[in-house]
Amino acid sequence: MSTTDLHVHNPVEDLLRQDRIPTIWCPGCGIGTSVNSFAHALLKQNIDLNKTAIVSGIGCSGRVSGYMNLDSFHTTHGRAIPFATGLKLANPELNVIVYSGDGDLAAIGGNHLIHAARRNMDILVVCINNMIYAMTGGQAAATTPSSSVSTTTPYGSYEPELNLVQLVDAAGACFVARWTAYHVMQLERTLEKALKKKGFRFIEVLSPCPTYYQRKNNMGDALQAMLDYKKRSKIQHGCPTWETALTPGGPIIVGEFVDREREDYLTRMRRQLGPHYSEFPPQLEEHVSEGCSKEC
């Protein structure tokens, strides 16, 4: 290394597909910030990265899976959770993480979110909530705060916003937390904790969308969003989730709200099946590539 080479190895570099950088995310977006916390959490937890798969749906946050240097699955709009469910069932050794957006997980994928929490499927779901459909151009989402302007609610949204942490808590998630893109250290610690835990885990990360949400609603730039998060956030671990609604201009309750023990789907299945379940390795080891040279 020459003395002029100032490159300092960033510990999370190996966790990202360097040949895919730069990302498509806008300046000021919180998705990348959350990915940084996630990467640090993976490193600190010393997770076997060869046994870690990341699944996402569509949209800005849906691109996270492709930037991570893990087994990456970029699926269809709203369907990351059922894909992850199949993946986990087929190979219970995998750490399966769903990383996607609010439009994806809460609206089109809302039913899957509820049922994965109810089943207590052993997956970690990180939901980036930027309160808007960003990649498609700023349409209203299920999480768009009431009265907000979006491209499909030009007179302000008439619909109340969905409280995701309350929803997954009610459905039976065993770990539920919320942070914002401002709370990078707290998010990292919560991710570490969630990575260790078994069962359905859900972390909501509020993220600014300066391009489509902030600007349309005269909320200033990304820095303003950060100042806003700082000012409005109240850390209340264990807060009942029905008290965590995100109201326009109201307090943002953040923290770890739910941490309960529930038998996860596969553990329960095996316990209940008892002797009816006979485990034997699948016969797929006889891997061949001869097929490829076969004449057609």
99 by DSSP, 3-state: which?
strand
CA 18/CA 128 separation, integer angstroms: 22
Query: Minimum distance from CB of 98 to another protein (Å)?
Result: 11
Query: Minimum distance from CB of 28 to another protein (Å)?
Result: 23
Cβ atoms of 30 and 205 closer than 8 Å:
yes
Considering beta carbons, is residue 189 or 201 the nearer one to another protein? 201
Query: Minimum distance from CB of 265 to another protein (Å)?
Result: 8
C-alpha angle 204/249/212, rounded to 5°?
65
Query: Minimum distance from CB of 23 to another protein (Å)?
Result: 12
- DSSP strand pairing (124-129 vs 175-180): unpaired
- Considering just the CA atoms, what is the radius of gyration of the chain in Å? 20
DSSP 124: E
Please state whether the peptide bond connecting residue 210 to the residue before it is cis, i.e. omega within 30 degrees of 0.
no
CA 85/CA 29 separation, integer angstroms: 29
Considering beta carbons, is residue 184 or 266 the nearer one to another protein? 266
Considering beta carbons, is residue 89 or 219 the nearer one to another protein? 89
Considering beta carbons, is residue 249 or 291 the nearer one to another protein? 291
Query: Minimum distance from CB of 85 to another protein (Å)?
Result: 5
CA 82/CA 93 separation, integer angstroms: 17
Considering beta carbons, is residue 85 or 148 the nearer one to another protein? 85
Other beta carbons within 10 Å of 48: 11
Euclidean distance between the first and the last CA atom of the chain, given in angstroms as a whole number: 52
Query: Minimum distance from CB of 78 to another protein (Å)?
Result: 8
Query: Minimum distance from CB of 99 to another protein (Å)?
Result: 14
Beta-bridged to residue 198, according to DSSP, are none
Considering beta carbons, is residue 66 or 220 the nearer one to another protein? 66
Considering beta carbons, is residue 95 or 211 the nearer one to another protein? 95
Token pair of 81 as six digits: 């959770």
CA 233/CA 214 separation, integer angstroms: 17
State the residues that interact with another protein by CB under 8 A.
17, 19-20, 50-51, 53, 55, 66, 69-76, 79, 81-91, 93-94, 111-112, 114-115, 269, 273, 276-284, 286-289, 291-296
